[in-house]
Every structure is written in C-alpha cells, then in structure tokens.
Amino acid sequence: MMYKKSNKLNQIFTALLVFILISCGKEATSVEAGNENSEKLSGFPNRLPMEKPNREMSAALNRLYDAYPAPKPQANELFSQFKYTDLKGFDYNNHNGTISRRDPSKVIFHEGKYYVWYTYRNTPTPPQGAKKSSDVIPSSDWDLAEIWYATSTDGFTWEEQGVAIKRPEKPIVGWRSVTTTDILQWKGKYYLYYQGFMEASGKRGDDCPVAVSYADSPNGPWTAYNKIVIPNGAKGEWDEYSIHDPYPLVYKGKIYLYYKSDFGVKGDWIRMQGLATADNPLGPFTKHPLNPVISSGHETSLFPFKQGIAALVYKDGNEHNTVQFAKDGVNFEIAAITEMMPYAAAPFVPDAFTDTKDGRGITWGLAHFIGLGKKGQFHSMLTRFDCDLSQDLNDHEMKEPRVKYTPEDYFKRSLSKKQRVRIENETKNLEK
Ligand code: AAL
C-alpha cells in the first residue's frame, strides 16, 4: 500500500513538475515576444514591444515606431490631455460683449509673481463688423484694443494691473488696434511683440504687420519702437496681408519668432505658421526660406523640448489637433494626436529664453474661449489649461487617451436646419 501511495505521489509530483516547466516555457516565449527576438513568432506579439521589432510590418505598425516618440500615448512625452480651470479676478461686464480679453502671451515668473499680457477690448458696443465700425465702434473682437496685463501668485487668481501698450497716435503702426501680444526676455530687457492694425480688421481681411515695445521691467514703462519689425510678405506671397500671433523663443543663440498668416480668399482662409529669426530683438528679422514651416494651426504655441521645438497645432488645417516636434526648430513632424486643445494657448515656459539644449516642456498656461455672450454680444475670456507635456512630470491622468464626454456634450452639436432638410429629402427620394 505504501509503495502504491509513494508511486501515486511520484506521478503527481512528476505531472506538477512537467506543468511548471511547460508554463515557464510559454511565459518565456511570450516575454521574449515582448522583447527583441519576436521574429520567432509568426504573428505580431501579444505584448506591444516598446522598441521597433525586427519583422515585416504594415504601414500602420511601422508608423507606430517611426512617427511617434512611443508606440502608445501613455508612454509618449508629447501626448497629453488638457484640463481647464475658470480664472478668478477678471470682470466681463456680465458678458454683454463690451469687454473682451483674449490671445494671452506666454506666462513668465518674476520676483514671486506670474505675469501675463493679453488683448483687452473695452468698447461702448460689442463688435459690429467692418461696415458699421467707426472710431469707437469695433469691427471685430480685437478691434480698438490695447495690451493689458495681470499678475498672479498661484496661476488661478489674477490681479489685473492695467494697460501696458496703448494704441499710438495715427499714423504710427498699431494706431487702430494693438493686439495678440507675446513676451521675450533678452539680455535683461523685456520685449512685447504685437499685431499693429492700421485699419479696422475685416475691411479686406485681418491685415496687419507686427510691432514691438520694450522695457527694463515687466511692469513697464514700455517704449514703442514705432516701426514695423516683422513686415508683411511681398505681393502674392503667403504672408502678404497678415503677420499674426508673434511668438518669440530663444533657440540656437538667436530669437526664433514664429507667426501665423491667413492667406487664400475671404471665407476660405488657409492658416499656416512661419518663422523669422534675428540676433537683435528690434530686428532685422529674416524670414525662413522654408516658410511656412507648419501647415496647420491658428494661434500656435511652441516650447523648447529636448534638443528641438514642440508646437501645439489646433483649429485649422489637415494637421489640427496635433502636437508637433522639430528637432531643428524648422522641420516639424506630428508627434501626437490629441483633442480639446487650448485655444490660443499661452504656456508657462520656464526655459523659453534660456537658449536651452534640453527643453523641459510645459505643464500649464493660459488660453482663451472665444465667441461668448448672446447673439450680438461676441467677446472672449481668458482661462487656464493644464497638461503633461513635460520631461519632469508623469501625470497618468493627463496621459489617458480617452477624453470622457457626456451625451449632452454630443447633443450640443446638433444638426443644422439645412442638414435636417437634406436628410428629409434623402428619405423622400428613397420612397419614390
Ligand atoms: C486671433 C489671432 C490674431 C487674429 C485674431 C486676433 O485668434 O489669430 O489675433 O488677428 O484672431
């Protein structure tokens, strides 16, 4: 009996040993599959390799490794969700359209406070269009505007400080409106670049060049250079009419000023981004021969990232809703696809002006929401966004690719009357 028992136990022990060896073997195969020797498998491995496997793959799988910094968003340093917070400290006259704040500058930190500059419009009426505009009636949300600024100790509650750049006297550049500014720190001085309108926006288009003012302190006083510093392009060139959204960084020892232009025809504007570089903040600026350098976007925000420059490209063009990267600051590639991107994002970029060779990235900034108010009360307001596009943060919530929407978020985007009529007609045609 004992022999039988011990024999039985031996059989069980042997079977158990064989099971363990087989399962270890399988585990090794599947683990190996996740590593470099996946060619032993006929199918793509069941664990996503983090390095490009040595095997023939489809265009999509090759792109996963060749086009993006990582094969999944959770590991992609240039992918992020965006979250938003309403700001405290700004009054909008009950959102009746007479006060607007928009197109904020990058945020800087100086002597314990954050600073931001922005387009400030305070007019007796909301915008009335170019035909009805006058010396006091704005044509657009950014017509008859000044550049104001605000400070904050926490980035959420802001204290408006008042005007930084007033509209100069006619015919000085910007006499009609000074808008859409951005900040540069260079050799201990501060420079505000801004769009200088010499006619009400919308007469032909949104036509303007870029001007600049400078100061020894972010609190001013600001001295206007009173000359056009980024001129419009030559007749027939892509940036002939508008130089918008000036966005200076310091890169490769120079001022890299990115900007947008609207071109094409009214009602079918194409928007792309250009680059102009200079050794002196007051110019001369040299436009890059490869301009436009970004094929899409609108108010495009950029920041030093590793050895290159990253860009938040949203709103317009084939490549809207992308984060892009140029390892040379010029030739941008798509690094990530995302959504609910901040409008006119104005990030806090600690190394925007340090001529860094290892840009750390961004985690927050200001932006704007446009088109607020009831019909005929068009205005905009500033907001805060947060994200994880930083080498120094690993916020899993921001790296989650799924943005949760409610059914109400979808139903808000209802069919237009024209679309309903089209659909009804399609149904009627079926019955004939
Ligand atoms: C903004 C920017 C520029 C345009 C207008 C005000 O979003 O692109 O500044 O001129 O719209």
Ligand 1 centroid to Cα of residue 307, in Å, is 29
What is the whole-number distance in angstroms between the Cα of residue 264 and the centre of ligand 1? Answer: 16
DSSP string, 275-325: EEEESSTT---EE-TT---BSS-SS-EEEEEETEEEEEE-SSSTT-SEEEE
Assign 18 a pLDDT band (cuts: 50, 70, 90): low
Residue appearing with tokens 């059914």? 407
Q: How far is CA 340 from the centre of its chain?
A: 10
Q: Is the pLDDT of residue 381 over 70?
A: yes
- In the predicted model, what is the mean pLDDT of residues 151-167? 98
- pLDDT for residue 36: 47
Predicted confidence at residue 4, as pLDDT, reads 43
pLDDT (tens digit per residue) in 394-409: 999 999 999 999 999 9
Q: Which residues contact 307 (CB under 8 A, 6 or more apart)?
A: 327, 357, 358, 359
Note whether 245 and 260 are within 8 A (CB): yes
Name the strands in the sheet holding 210-215, side by side, starting at the edge strand that comes first in the sequence.
177-186, 189-197, 210-215, 223-224
- CB distance 250 to 355 below 8 Å: yes
Residue 99 has pLDDT above 70, yes or no: yes
DSSP 8-state code for residue 228: -
Residue 61 CB burial class (10 angstroms; 0-12, 13-18, ≥19): middle
- How much of the chain exceeds pLDDT 70, in percent? 91
Q: In the predicted model, is pLDDT for residue 27 greater than 70?
A: no
The answer to whether residue 31 scores a pLDDT higher than 50 is no
Q: What is the pLDDT of residues 258-282, one digit of tens each?
A: 999 999 988 889 999 999 999 999 9
Q: What angle (nearest 5°) sits at the alpha carbon of residue 274, between those of residues 181 and 115?
A: 25
Would you state the pLDDT for residue 5?
Answer: 45
Mind listing the domains of the chain with CATH numbers?
83-411 (2.115.10.20)
298 pocket-lining for ligand 1 (C-beta < 6 Å): yes
Residue 266: per-residue pLDDT: 83
Residue having the nearest C-alpha atom to atom 4 of ligand 1: 244
Q: Is 103 touching ligand 1 by the criterion CB < 6 Å? A: yes
CA of 335 to the centre of ligand 1 (A): 25
Contact between residue 250 and residue 108 where contact means Cβ atoms under 8 Å apart: no
For 328, the 3-state DSSP assignment is coil
Q: Which atom of ligand 1 is nearest to the CA of 271?
A: 8
Given this model, what pLDDT does residue 305 score?
98
Contact criterion met (CB below 8 Å) for 155 and 114: yes
pTM: 0.89
Q: What is the pLDDT of residue 250?
A: 98
d(CA 370, CA 95): 12
Phi, psi (deg, nearest 5) at residue 44: -65, 140
